Amino acid sequence: MPFSSNTLIVLAASSGNGKGSSIAGLLPLLLIVAVVYMLFLRPARARQRAARQTRTEVEPGVEVTTTAGLIATVVAVDDDTVTLEVAPGVHSRYVKAAIGRVNTPPEPEESAMADDADDADPSGDTPAGTGA
């Protein structure tokens, strides 16, 4: 017999430890891949999806801001391009991907206006607790 009993014990011990250490060595790598996916890839895909949705919502008459910071009004929409009016009578064609966001005008808050009207006291009396 070419192997001694000591050699068999060493081979049996090393084969058992080899499998456990390979799984333990692979676990941190898998953890790193999962963290990178959760922190970088998933949010980037969400931003791309939102940008694509924004570009599909573009229609004539809407005010947009391009990725370069140009604020203009959409005049016409084609398959891949949009025509923007950058000044009265000045039209420029842009690729749809150049649209950074669609600008929506701020809506006036009715509750803020109502609060301002309530604060005005027509009698001229000072509010209670001011000490005047």
In terms of domains, do 26 and 37 share one? yes
Domain span including residue 90: 59-103
Does residue 12 register a pLDDT over 50?
no
What are the distances in angstroms from CA 118 to CA 110, 115, 122, 127? Answer: 12, 5, 10, 12
Predicted confidence at residue 24, as pLDDT, reads: 80
Residue 113: inside a domain, yes or no?
Answer: no
Establish if 120 belongs to a structural domain: no
Specify whether the CB–CB gap between 64 and 99 falls below 8 A: yes
124 vs 60, 117, 120, CA distance in Å?
51, 14, 9
**49's tokens:** 């999806």
Is 43 in the same domain as 94? no
Closest alpha carbon to 55 in 94, 6, 100: 100
- The total of structural domains in the chain comes to 2
Q: Is residue 42 a part of any domain in this protein?
A: yes
Let me know: does 46 contact 80? Beta carbons within 8 Å: no
Asked if residue 124 has pLDDT above 80, the reply is no
Q: What is the model's pTM?
A: 0.48
pLDDT tens figures, 13-62: 454 444 557 788 888 889 898 888 888 888 888 888 887 887 777 889 99
Read off the pLDDT of residues 85-115 as tens digits, 9 standing for 90 and up. 999 999 999 998 899 888 887 777 665 555 5
52 and 64 share one domain: no
Residues 40 and 75 in one domain: no
